[in-house]
Amino acid sequence: MNLEADPNLIVHFAGQYIPLREARIGILTHALHYGTGVFEGIRAYWETAGQELYLMRPHEHFERWKRNCEILRLEVSLPIDELCAITAQLLRRNAIHADAYIRPLAYKCAERIGVSPDNQDAFAVVALPYGEYLRSDQGLHACVSAWRRVEDNAIPARAKICGAYVNSALASDDARRAGFDEAILLNESGHVAEGSTSNIFMVRKGRLITPPVTENVLEGITRSAIMELAERELGMRVAERPIDRSELYLADELFLTGTAVGVAPVVRVDHRAVGDAALGPIAGQLRHLYFEAAHGRLRNYRKWLVPVYKPEADSGRGTNRLEQANAA
């Protein structure tokens, strides 16, 4: 999904709330030339019945972001609760009453030539209305990309390092130019890694399978949510093991998971039907459960959510601290 942001959107930049049109960096900024940044993606879901916007697992996302920043020696000094408060404040200031996407970005901000980074760090947070990333109601037609997923000893795929996403851009662009909806990347061992921007799950002979995080995949938060839902709600243990390319052609079901995509079924791979070439029963159940949880309709998973407009109505983790930070 391509979406031009409103230049009047309020963002958090250089420690201030300012319009997007005023949030600018110089053309010599280190991260622009060398990819020395780490971003995060967080979703918020609008629940019409309760007139509430729910942030989905923001604490876990900010924790992952700060941890991954350490790989590039980037420092984000604010505590996680304050980052959550900034995010909720942005959503309120922009009066967002729809599904939204939040993009925190930390980056090396020195304006100079030279690949070696220094200790000049900055960060920004943007929150904007955002619908479907991949239109997947009819299922996706994917291809196995000729590009391989980056290796951990080259650029760690487990972290959202800006420069690493050239790998995703190349694979995604080739797939779309060839008429596919999405790309599936293999790692250098020839095993299935993930989609261009999402983790992958396979159902085969009644078992739910996904590559382990040691196969050069993102340590996905939506991935972990799906694994928890599968075990607790469907009684299915997820097997984490390598997946061969040819298994994609023999799978009963395939689906992608991620913050942006949610749960997106893959119904064809390399012009071969997956199962019945339709949304499978397990993917369908997990997709339903995930979005029910994300919209606050499953009480057992309210722990994942932080309400934006009526925090006092929720007893989820961090709510009181979030309110205190907002009031400060």
Task: For residue range 33-68, list pLDDT tens digits in order.
Answer: 999 999 999 999 999 999 999 999 999 999 999 999
89 lies in the same domain as 154:
no
26 lies in the same domain as 47:
yes
Which domain-ending residue is among 75, 107, 131? 131
Instruction: Indicate the number of domains in the chain.
Output: 2
Residue 293 scores a pLDDT above 70: yes
Q: Could you tell me where the DSSP H helices lie in 9-153?
A: 30-34, 58-69, 80-93
Which tokens go with 219?
């340590």
234 lies in the same domain as 123:
no
Residues annotated as part of the active site: 160
Domain span holding position 64: 10-131
Residue 3 scores a pLDDT above 70: no
Which domain-ending residue is among 87, 111, 131? 131
Which domain-ending residue is among 93, 114, 131? 131
| pTM of the complete model | 0.92
Going by C-alpha positions, the residue among 108, 101, 141 that lies closest to residue 262 is: 101
pLDDT tens digits for 244-287?
999 999 999 999 999 999 999 999 999 999 999 999 999 999 99
CA atoms within 13 A on the CB side of 66: 14
186 lies in the same domain as 117:
no
176 lies in the same domain as 125:
no
Q: Which residues contact 320 (CB under 8 A, 6 or more apart)?
A: none
CA 8 to chain centre: 25
pLDDT tens digits for 215-251?
999 999 999 999 999 999 999 999 999 999 999 999 9
**Environment class of 292 (CB within 10 Å of its CB; exposed 0-12, middle 13-18, buried 19+):** middle
Task: Kindly report the backbone phi and psi dihedral angles of residue 298, in degrees, each rounded to the nearest multiple of 5, phi listed first.
Answer: -115, 110
Q: What is the CATH number of the domain that holds 188?
A: 3.20.10.10
